[in-house]
Amino acid sequence: MAIDLRYQPFIIYAESKIPSTQSRLKAVSIALGVAVARFLPPSPAGTEATTHHYDTTVNFEASRIISEFNENVLVNIDVCMEVCRSFWLMRQSVISTVNLSPILAGGNGSFIERVFGMNTQASPEVIAYLNANPAVMATLVNRIVPLLQPQDGASV
């Protein structure tokens, strides 16, 4: 199977900014997880078991999108799926109508992350990596998003 030419500029950019194959694999995998999490629909209003909803419903669509991307750009699917799940759960915790979890005074994350319970979702290593490389990671996510958008009327 030939590489979809739409991915070529992304591959060239990633290779130019991150020459190390292992580092590029990690960066693209994390960026893809973040990008896919932004595409996935939130759980319906009033759904209390968001983790269960993700695992039984949303997970399959995430897997499909990540697998399709992986056909053109090599990624670590396990990392993508872990990051996607954690960022989807973070997004869900922000839009949740009621968040009664206690705000922790200390621990991982900023105060805002603790207010919304987001500091417990993603691994500290992923957050540290994103914080250490914000420019390239933001650019990777922004370059991935158009590649995930439907082509010729197809759905994501």
Q: What is the pLDDT of residues 71-112, one digit of tens each?
A: 999 999 999 999 999 999 888 877 765 667 777 777 767 777
CA-to-CA distance for 114 and 139, rounded, in angstroms? Answer: 26
Q: What pLDDT is attached to residue 98? A: 65
Q: Is the pLDDT of residue 28 over 70?
A: yes
Q: Is the pLDDT of residue 6 over 60?
A: yes
Decide if 152 is inside a domain.
Answer: no
Q: Is the pLDDT of residue 120 over 70?
A: no
Decide if 2 is inside a domain.
Answer: no
- Picking from 98, 101, 92, the residue whose alpha carbon sits closest to that of residue 53 is 92
* This model's pTM is above 0.75: yes
Total structural domains within the chain: 1
Amino acid occupying residue 100: L
In a 13 Å sphere around the CA of 110, the CA atoms on its Cβ side amount to 5
Decide if 57 is inside a domain.
Answer: yes
